Amino acid sequence: MTESDQALEKAEKLPCWKGSVKPEPLSGGITNTNFVVSDRGERFVVRIGEDIPVHGVMRFNEQAASLAAFEAGVSPEVVYAEPGALVLRFIEGQTLTPENVRQDDMLERIIPLLTKVHKTIPRYFKGPSLVFWVFHVLRDYAQTLRQDESRMSGELDTLMTTADNLEKEVGPIDLVYGHNDLLAANFIDDGDRLWLVDWDYAGYNSPLFDLGGLASNNELSPEQEQWMLKTYYGTEIGRNDFRRYEAMKCASLLREAMWSMVQEIHSALDFDFVDYTDKNLTLFQNALEQFKQNSENYG
């Protein structure tokens, strides 16, 4: 039985269903196998996935974050959970694309949602929580990639030196509760409000990581970045703070690239991770060059 077949069987046999169900595959997941289930007139999303230690993904944390995010009013209701399975109420709406996120009117809706995530979820989070510090993640990935003889092993020393320099540039941080995976596809617009889903990597972090990830994952323009930062912080930020933000944005792109390097070796999902790695490395190098240029201009 394939991994997909096992996931389907697990989803079908969950004890929360009121009748017999036929899970329908839901595309888009690259760390989980997802399904839509109709049960007695209601629809649900089922996320099937075990812990992924190489990525720091622990399902107890995802479950707790999902529950708190629902209580905070930013994510769908958790209907049922057990080890390896999470059932959420289905949201009828449009899954965003980077093009959607780049629309000014959409950004005006996203930033208040992000602020709510950062400030409100800790009021509802119950139990132990993870911390997501991107520079630890990068160092851990480097060890995994060396151990597993990644095709990128020869580049790791240079990448880790760069990561160390970026960490110094970020400096001291404020701590908020972060989503830490702000891909466009994790936003759903139901026509009235926005929802944020997929809390695999959630944990306490600097707000700069989510802000940098939102900008880099969706290719915001420099003008939009400035607007985003001013709106989030409620004031224009100075050059030093913008430099810290740019350093974290570079780190978020490097993390996405190295995440994919690990996936090349460890994932059984049908996805072109080599291409994803190469694309994100290019985005990282471009952002790093821009960061260096701006740093020279600032003096």
The pLDDT tens digits of the residues spanning 220-267 come to 999 999 999 999 999 999 999 999 999 999 999 999 999 999 999 998
Domain chopping of the chain, boundaries: 3-89, 94-298
**Which tops the pLDDT comparison, 33 or 122?**
122
Q: What's the pLDDT score for residue 5? A: 84
Closest CA to 92 of 17, 182, 185, 191: 191
pLDDT digits 0-9 by tens, 21-75: 999 998 766 678 899 999 989 999 999 999 999 999 999 999 999 999 999 999 9
Number of residues in the chain: 299
- The pTM for the full model equals 0.94
Q: What percentage of the chain reaches a pLDDT higher than 70?
A: 98
Fold of the domain spanning 3-89: Phosphorylase Kinase; domain 1 (3.30.200)
Encode pLDDT of 148-184 as tens digits.
999 999 999 999 999 999 999 999 999 999 999 999 9
Q: Which helix (H) or strand (E) holds 187?
A: strand 187-189
What does the pLDDT look like over 282-298, one tens digit per residue?
999 999 999 999 887 76
Q: Which pLDDT band, with edges at 50, 70 and 90, does 200 fall under?
A: very high
CATH of 94-298, picked from 3.40.50.920, 3.30.930.10, 2.60.120.260, 3.90.1200.10, is 3.90.1200.10
Long-range CB pairs of 31-37 (<8 Å, 24+ gap) are 31/55, 31/57, 31/200, 31/267, 31/269, 32/200, 33/3, 33/4, 33/7, 33/8, 33/269, 35/7, 35/8, 35/11, 36/90, 37/11, 37/87
Tell me the mean pLDDT in the region 106-116: 98
Alpha-carbon distance of 92 to 109, in angstroms, equals: 18
